[in-house]
Structure 1
Amino acid sequence: MKRFPAITANPKVASFRSIPAATQPWKESGSPWKSTLFRLLQSHEIDEAARFFARIPSPGVQLYTMMINGYCRINRLDQAFRLFERMPARDAAAWNSMIKAALDCGELDLGRKLFDEMPGRNVISWTTMVNGLSQFGRVDAAEDLFFRMPLRDTAAWNAMISAYCDNGRVADARSMFDKMPQPNLISWTAMIGGHDQNGESDKALCLFSELWMTRMKLTPRTYACILTVCANASELQLGIQLHAHLVRTSYSLDPFVSTSLVNLYAKCKQIEDSSKLFTEKQEKDVVSWTALITGYGLNDRHEDALKEFDKMTASPVRPNQSTFTSALNSCCGLQALERGKKIHATTVKLGLDLDMFVKNSLIVLYSKCGDIDDSLTLFNCMDRRNLVSWNSIIMGCAQNGYGSFAIELFDDMTKLNVQPDEITYTGLLTACSHSRMLEKGRNIFHMLERDPSVEVKLEHYSCMVDILGRCAMFEEAEELIRNMPMEPNATIWLALLSACRIHANIEVARRISKKVFDIDPENSATYVLLSNIYASAGQWNDVSQTRLMMRSRGITKVPAASWITLKGMRHEFVCGDRSHPMATEVYKKLDWLVGKLKELGYIHDTRFALHDVDDEQKEAVLAYHSEKLALAFGLISTVEGMGFVLVEIAGDLGCVGGAFAAQLGGSGDDGQEHGLRHRRERAFSSPSTCNYTEPSYTAVKVAP
């Protein structure tokens, strides 16, 4: 960012106090200069406006201020500053405009110097500075300035309430709101929004009830705020009642209100209603389009989200940072790395790739798709990082087997005085789990317990149980669960049951499975996992009894699925699937590969297949496992220059293809070079250690 010299260091303006203030109104308000300059600035013709301004003989304070504001709107602070220096006299409006411009352009020190140098500061000057300090997170300094104000109007009170809310001090904001002499509608709206954005949607709704009883006339902005609260609190019925009221008052046609309605129905899982409202909008702007794209993503309709994104980019509406963030999140949901890279390229063209929120989404995309190297490159190139940036890269390293590096990143983060939150600790514990770092995991969990700013949640206990289970510390894991301050759920017991499969601990598995059945008897994963544990030990009677119990309770297993994204299209396979248009070619390729691998000594792992099926049938089932079908399709579909193809494996059989993939390497007789890597390969060397509940990823690099 461009730096500006200290005001007092500038020889031409040793002190702005030496320049006379405007003591009388300038006679230019009705002049043709003002109307023409206003028109040029409104149409964003800044260079033409500058040339026109240069031809005005002796422009007054008002015209100078208009031109300064024009420069500031497009972040040309240096030109605005030079123009400000040239002013023969300045009034309070000119000073306030320049202070606000400096703050909006990220120059807090310059804004504060201007404020300190300003003669005759008025309430607007003080309020502008309070807002500026708040946007830089200096809420204590803003508070000090607020209480030093010689005179406070309602706008000043509102500024301090917003400062508290924006910096997480919602209790202080509410205390100030309650002390206000005369809160106006902006005050009510700010406080309602403050409760909501700080996770207190219930208090926001209560405050709205109080506002409604005042009979104060509400504006579209306030209604938009209330609809957002309803969306975040999943209060669909209240939202529908408000919608009906807004239709009667014609406020539903307001751009802010209609966009909030799109968001409401999307967040309340009524995505079709959300889409219908968007279609009916007369003017589709970037905010409403982004709300719909985000809504599709929240409802796991990622393909539809990306289709809407394509429609938007083909229209005159230009996407913003939030749009790209939502589109990239949908790419994550589809594991569509190539599509994500195209969107990444678009952000570069539009100059939005440097935006911190966009970069955070890119870090998540690349790491979730197994490309941790590019994820780290993006992180290292960031000029500015927030806690989300650190959490994203720590979790990315954790999920890709770089456990030790995730810990190193955390050490760097704490050295920079970035305070961890609950997500940070989840990432660190996940890193220790995937990389089997028992002592590191214990130390981090104890650090979490001692951290007064973070509440230890069930998710953290689940991660710690997973660490202990993977390291065969079953007694310690069970003791931890027994001593938890909250009731254990099925997930935490399943983590321990999964560890029983890794270590073939039948005794603990029997005990743990009963606890899961008591909590969630309809969870098919428990039956499948227990059955596989028995099968691996050759206890076929127990396998049959488990599956019989599953059938008698009407519980069906969700088939394991694998999918691959090529040229923006997702191809999904299940075990033995022959519905794909290229099924003949896929099976032919897979049969050829299996034959070649058998020559190299590869054998199918039939431990988990039912005992009443002969070996040939077992091998036939395993040969056409969904992951292997996806791999074969990737190989026949990949052409020169395509690089890595990413396949996500979901379900309880994900490790079968991983073992197959581990053997598929080097140069094949098909004229292709196969270089495969399995996700978390640094954490595990044996496919039997895979956790059945976690997706696995295989990257296939094909060269002619």
Structure 2
Amino acid sequence: NNSLKDKRRGKIDRSLIDMFVLHELLQLCAKRRSLLVGKSCHGLAIHFGLVTDTVTCNILINLYTKCGRNDCARHVFDAMLARSIVSWNTMIAGYTQSGEDVQALKLFQRMHREGRQLTKFTLSSTICACAAKYAINECKQLHAIAIKLALDSNSFVGTAILDVYAKCNMIKDACWVFEKMPDKTLVTWSSLFAGYVQNGLHEEALCLFRNAQREGVKLTEFTLSAIISACASLALKIEGTQLHAVIVKCGFHGNFFVAASLVDVYARCGQIEKSYALFAYMEQKNVVIWNAMIAGFSRHAHSWEAMILFEKMHQLGIFPNEVTYLSMLSVCSHAGLVEEGRHYFNLLMSDRTVEPNVLHYSCMVDVLGRSGKTDEAWELIHKMPFEPTASMWGSLLGSCRNHNNSGLARIAAEQLFQLEPDNGGNHVLLSNVYAASGNWENVLMARKYLKDSGAKKEMGRSWIEAKGKIHVFVVGERKHPAITDIYNKLEEIYHDMRKFAH
């Protein structure tokens, strides 16, 4: 510290400057992200002829990458007369950490072509770059190299490979990598937890969580956040409440992501009051927590509460992000609030800090379609700067059915048939549109096309938790062991509804 102060004051004696003192200064600058002083030290290194030393250059590369100046780091790297493994690894890691994934991959390819020795640090950094850009083919090649070098069982390399496979929806491959790893770190377990949740395999995530507890794996805020998300998706109220107690016990309740997950799980389990009480109790809230609460109100059709919350965000100086706008458009869609939907969509378009994506347009199409403005929804699809998705055309087709627009329904259906040729539900939906308009000839044609194409409609499913077990029901199911009791109860509910004029 005194050395750094002396350097800043320009009082350091040149006779005292040697390689080791300079290294200490540069490392201290890297630790403190002090770019200006680091550049001065770089100047001293040039003046005293130390830039030909490999170790000095490696420390300079580390300094510049830590300070976010990969251009300066690359200049030092390219000027080196002799590069060590550390030089290559530091430069690749710098690119990966700053999100310059293409540059990281290119440098790795050059390193490999030159026959340089590859280490666990080289592979793990490069594979992380693949994860960031979802480069599954490159990851498979790196996985093969790791196996060839017997580095695939290393915890750093294995976790990085697992993470790429999970992010690219190759969860079976991720599990295979996980099982093959002899030493699983906390990050390894967390990566697979997150992978299961991201791929919608919530029951598998909970099963893995129980295994982790049995093996004595330490809980982290990241692990708990992922598991609470799984409970939220399955609407597991009891497990969610138990995890809340664990979070308080571990002292993670102040973590923003954990807090947001708790707000979400209570809202999804039908406890919107408890969700809001938890939200209101928090002294500090970031945009993620606000988004979770707005989404909770949206899910419970509390549209005005969501709008009030949005306005309060503005008043407190918390800027909405893409998720916030998506939640607000979803609120307007479900509540049939067309003008309010236009308002939030226009706010999004004028907000220079948020980039509209295809989901925002899809939500706005749904807002217009549900209110009967199907032609306007179709016009928006054609004007947007994205390729329309299957869900977007499906939303328009459903709106055309509800508002009896068979002409536009056919256009939407044709697009859907191209995007989802094996989804029989689209054919059924189109035939229902024709049936609603009394066009029975086209109904027969749609049904015949469905039969001839071999496409199948996926059966609808629902589930409920009762006495600690999850019971799954399929539409039209007749083989359930309690089917008689189920239909008797439904008949009883139906008569009660009729009695109260519902």
- Do Structure 1 and Structure 2 share a fold, with TM-score over 0.5? yes
**Conservation of the 8 A alpha-carbon contact between 2:154 and 2:181:** no
| Cα 1:212–1:406 shift into 2, 3 Å | farther
How many Å separate the matches in 2 of 1:92 and 1:177? 24
Partner of residue 344, structure 1: 244
Matches within 5 A, 1:135-154: 145-149=34-38, 150-152=40-42
CA positional deviation for 1:287: 1.7
Partner of residue 499, structure 1: 399
Partner of residue 137, structure 1: none
Q: Deviations over 1:615-657 (max 9, x none)?
A: xxxxxxxxxxxxxxxxxxxxxxxxxxxxxxxxxxxxxxxxxxx
Which one of the candidate residues 306, 312, 317 is aligned to 1:412? Answer: 312
| Cα 1:216–1:397 shift into 2, 3 Å | farther
**Conservation of the 8 A alpha-carbon contact between 2:369 and 2:377:** yes
How many Å separate the matches in 2 of 1:282 and 1:519? 43
| Cα 1:408–1:179 shift into 2, 3 Å | farther
Q: Deviations over 1:410-433 (max 9, x none)?
A: 333334443433322222221221
Which one of the candidate residues 36, 41, 65 is aligned to 1:161? Answer: 65
CA positional deviation for 1:548: 2.1
Query: In structure 2, what residue type is equivalent to 1:340?
Result: G
Matches within 5 A, 1:192-203: 192-195=95-98, 198=99, 201-203=101-103
- Secondary structure class of the residue paired with 2:254: coil
Partner of residue 300, structure 1: 200
Partner of residue 318, structure 1: 218
- Secondary structure class of the residue paired with 1:581: coil
Partner of residue 296, structure 2: 396
How many aligned residue pairs are there? 461
How many Å separate the matches in 2 of 1:386 and 1:297? 22
- Secondary structure class of the residue paired with 1:526: helix
Measured on the aligned residues, the alpha-carbon RMSD in Å equals 3.1
Partner of residue 189, structure 1: 92
- Secondary structure class of the residue paired with 2:41: coil
Q: Deviations over 1:280-312 (max 9, x none)?
A: 433333222222222333343322221110111
Partner of residue 34, structure 1: none
Larger radius of gyration: 1
How many Å separate the matches in 1 of 2:111 and 2:300? 50
Partner of residue 275, structure 1: 175
Partner of residue 112, structure 2: 212
How many Å separate the matches in 1 of 2:321 and 2:115? 41
CA positional deviation for 1:329: 2.3
| Cα 1:345–1:456 shift into 2, 3 Å | same
CA positional deviation for 1:386: 3.1
How many Å separate the matches in 2 of 1:522 and 1:243? 33
Is structure 2 residue 287 aligned with structure 1 residue 387?
A: yes
Partner of residue 32, structure 2: 129
Partner of residue 422, structure 1: 322
Query: In structure 1, what residue type is equivalent to 2:65?
Result: I
| Cα 1:174–1:424 shift into 2, 3 Å | farther
Matches within 5 A, 1:244-255: 244-255=144-155
Is structure 2 residue 187 aligned with structure 1 residue 287?
A: yes
Q: Deviations over 1:391-450 (max 9, x none)?
A: 333333223322233233233333444343332222222122122222222222222222
**Conservation of the 8 A alpha-carbon contact between 1:188 and 1:211:** no
- Return 506-515 or 353-362, whichever deviates more: 506-515
CA positional deviation for 1:569: 2.9
Partner of residue 83, structure 2: none
How many Å separate the matches in 1 of 2:278 and 2:26? 43
CA positional deviation for 1:537: 4.3
How many Å separate the matches in 1 of 2:70 and 2:425? 46
Which one of the candidate residues 474, 483, 488 is aligned to 1:574? Answer: 474
Q: TM-score under structure 1 normalisation?
A: 0.59
How many Å separate the matches in 2 of 1:235 and 1:527? 35
How many Å separate the matches in 2 of 1:341 and 1:485? 43
Query: In structure 2, what residue type is equivalent to 1:451?
Result: D
Is structure 2 residue 493 aligned with structure 1 residue 593?
A: yes
Higher RCO structure, 1 or 2 (CA under 8 Å, sep 6+)? 1
How many Å separate the matches in 2 of 1:576 and 1:124? 68
Is structure 2 residue 142 aligned with structure 1 residue 242?
A: yes
Q: Deviations over 1:139-190 (max 9, x none)?
A: xxxxxx52254425755653553454xxxxxxxx443433446693453233
CA positional deviation for 1:573: 0.9
By percentage of residues, which structure has more helix?
Answer: 2
Structure 1: segments with no counterpart, 5+ residues: 1-89, 94-120, 131-144, 165-172, 602-662, 664-704
How many Å separate the matches in 2 of 1:421 and 1:203? 29
Query: In structure 2, what residue type is equivalent to 1:210?
Result: R
**Conservation of the 8 A alpha-carbon contact between 1:339 and 1:568:** no
| Cα 1:541–1:244 shift into 2, 3 Å | closer
**Conservation of the 8 A alpha-carbon contact between 2:225 and 2:258:** yes
How many Å separate the matches in 2 of 1:312 and 1:265? 21
Which one of the candidate residues 367, 380, 386 is aligned to 1:480? Answer: 380
| Cα 1:207–1:381 shift into 2, 3 Å | farther
| Cα 1:307–1:504 shift into 2, 3 Å | same
Query: In structure 2, what residue type is equivalent to 1:161?
Result: T
Q: Deviations over 1:560-583 (max 9, x none)?
A: 211112344321112332333333
Q: Deviations over 1:517-543 (max 9, x none)?
A: 455454433322223333344544443
- Secondary structure class of the residue paired with 2:447: helix
CA positional deviation for 1:268: 4.1
How many Å separate the matches in 2 of 1:322 and 1:286? 10
**Conservation of the 8 A alpha-carbon contact between 2:74 and 2:91:** no
- Secondary structure class of the residue paired with 1:564: strand
Is structure 2 residue 74 aligned with structure 1 residue 178?
A: yes
Matches within 5 A, 1:531-550: 531-550=431-450
| Cα 1:374–1:524 shift into 2, 3 Å | farther
Partner of residue 467, structure 1: 367
| Cα 1:502–1:370 shift into 2, 3 Å | farther
**Conservation of the 8 A alpha-carbon contact between 1:158 and 1:186:** no
| Cα 1:329–1:175 shift into 2, 3 Å | same
How many Å separate the matches in 1 of 2:451 and 2:231? 37
CA positional deviation for 1:318: 1.2
How many Å separate the matches in 2 of 1:524 and 1:459? 24
Matches within 5 A, 1:545-556: 545-556=445-456
CA positional deviation for 1:362: 2.0
Q: Deviations over 1:313-356 (max 9, x none)?
A: 12222111111122122223323232222222221221122221
Query: In structure 2, what residue type is equivalent to 1:194?
Result: Q
**Conservation of the 8 A alpha-carbon contact between 2:233 and 2:268:** no
**Conservation of the 8 A alpha-carbon contact between 1:259 and 1:291:** yes
- Secondary structure class of the residue paired with 2:465: strand
| Cα 1:567–1:297 shift into 2, 3 Å | farther
**Conservation of the 8 A alpha-carbon contact between 1:162 and 1:190:** no
| Cα 1:476–1:586 shift into 2, 3 Å | closer
- Secondary structure class of the residue paired with 1:565: strand
**Conservation of the 8 A alpha-carbon contact between 1:185 and 1:218:** no
Q: TM-score under structure 2 normalisation?
A: 0.80
